[in-house]
Every structure is written in C-alpha cells, then in structure tokens.
Structure 1
C-alpha cells in the first residue's frame, strides 16, 4: 500500500498572502498588524495590544495565528483605529 504524501501547500500559502495584501489595501475599518515572534514574545506582544487597546473599546482580537518551525508564532492582531 502506497504511503499518502500531502500535496505541497506553498502555492496556496502564496495565494492566501497575496489575497490578504490586496484586501489590506482596501479601505477597512480595522487596523491590522502581523508579527512573527517566539511563543513567549508573542504572548507578551498580544498582552501589550490588549493593555493599550482594550477589547471593549477597540474590539481588539487575535485575528489569526499559526505555529511555525522553531516554536515561533505568526499572528495578526486586529483593532479599531479609535475607541469612538
């Protein structure tokens, strides 16, 4: 029986990144910033965002995240531009 080999996902990842960049160029009501940090630094950065931009006022959230090799985390923080 042949062993299943998953297809390479590089093309899909590039398409998703391109789509996100194009989407980011459009007018959006949210401010987004993407980080790639070690696990501990990622936690610290997320806490900084929640401290500086409280969820109740800015709708702050971790929009997406994924674990990379070497225990690094790539994540996108999202918030409203102002608390008004």
Structure 2
C-alpha cells in the first residue's frame, strides 16, 4: 500500500477504513473530539489520491456549522 504514511499507531485503522471504503463505498468515523478522526481521514484521502482516485472533502463553513445538512447541500450544489 503506497501513499502517505499512517498517523502513528493508526496503520490497522487505515487498512480497515480502506477495506470498508472499497467494499461499501462509504465509511463513518466517530469518536470524541481530539482522538484523530480528521487526521485519519486526511491520511486515507492522501492515499486514495495517490492511487488516482477522486476524493471529495465535505466540511461546513464556520457560518454554516449550526445549520443541519449545510455541508451536504454545498456538496450537491457544487456537483
């Protein structure tokens, strides 16, 4: 497996995430604030891009953080 190195201690999690993404096409990372969800997602995104895959990054704008579905609406609008 090429691409960016895994965050320290996360190789097994990244491997599992990659298998889920390839078999189901989507995954949900959950956990308390500060456990490294964003770092893991960024590492997997870098690996996917290195394989030539398209990566879409969904994030809300600060002004939209209190509006449910704002990030999804922005993604749909951009497609």
Q: Give the TM-score taking structure 1 as reference length.
A: 0.29
- Report the structure, 1 or 2, having the larger strand content: 1
- Report the structure, 1 or 2, having the larger helix content: 2
Q: Give the TM-score taking structure 2 as reference length.
A: 0.30
Rg comparison, structure with higher value = 1
